[in-house]
Amino acid sequence: MNTINEKLLGINIDHIATLRQQRGTRYPEPIQAALIAEQAGADLITVHLREDRRHLPDRDVGMLIDVLQTRMNLEMAATPEMLSIAKRIGPSDCCIVPERRQELTTEGGLDVIGNKNYLRDFCLELKEAGIKVSLFIDADERQLDVCQEIGVPAVEIHTGHYADAKNAQKQKALLQIQQAVEYGSNLGLQINAGHGLDYHNVLPIALIQPIKEYNIGHSIISRAVISGLAAAVAEMKRLISSAENCTNPGG
């Protein structure tokens, strides 16, 4: 059970699936990764079901919903196809993100102002299906005003620009996030944050009191690859060396 002021960590497991999809193998298995993350303390599991299914196919999302002991935060574009998938699968949370096929990863926040009426109806349908909605937006007070106006309970502030910025620009981006979080929190919105957060840049963001959930993927999966590499090499070396004593190589 989470306490009211506790900061929550959502682990984005898309990158495990990316590794698997690259070779069409059965490993690494994102479901297994999600369960390990939960066991290690993750408060929720985040997955992005992209329109092009570049990492997770529908099968993963369907299986995950059956085995997770925490909750699923389904990131998705605001399309009719995704709406019907979300309603069928029933994650506890949905984070609506903009999506462009050519992008490497989600590159900017939603334009809630420009799509106000569409997003209001879209989010209402999710709410009626019992799903808590957040909108992924840049640190922009005008966007926050409209999020409140259309009645969403939560937003996720895009931290990618802060993560990418250098020197004075980084300070500026941080200040923008701090101000937006304060502003959005005063509007009564739950504020989450994510994108590009890593072991070097997360602390100033973690210090921003009202932020409730942090959705982090790439840096954690990358750290896991490097941390586990020595043991993985040693295991393969042992296996190859043991062939000397093997009498039945086929078996």
- Which is the catalytic residue, given 38, 161, 195, 213? 195
Give the binding range for ligand PXP (CB under 6 A) out of 172-180, 199-207, 217-225, 226-234.
217-225
Q: With CB under 6 A as the contact rule, which of the stretches 64-72, 82-90, 145-153, 214-222 interacts with ligand PXP?
A: 214-222
Which span sits near ligand PXP by CB under 6 A: 17-25, 27-35, 120-128, 212-220?
A: 212-220
* 50 touching ligand PXP, by CB under 6 A: no
Q: Is 75 an active-site residue?
A: yes
Query: Is 247 marked within a binding site?
Result: no
**Active-site residue 48, yes or no?**
yes
Q: Which of 38, 75, 156, 213 is catalytic?
A: 75
Task: Check the annotation: does 161 bind a ligand.
Answer: no
- Residues 180 and 140: beta-carbon distance below 8 Å: yes
Is 50 annotated to bind a ligand? Reply is yes
Instruction: Identify residues 86-145 at the interface with ligand PXP (CB under 6 A).
Output: 95, 97, 105-106, 136
Q: Hey, which residues between 137 and 156 contact ligand PXP (CB under 6 A)?
A: 156
158 is catalytic: no
- Give yes or no for residue 60 binding ligand PXP (CB under 6 A): no
Q: Is 55 in the site for ligand PXP (CB under 6 A)?
A: no
Residue numbers annotated as active site: 48, 75, 195
Output the known binding site for 1-deoxy-D-xylulose 5-phosphate.
14-15, 50, 55, 105
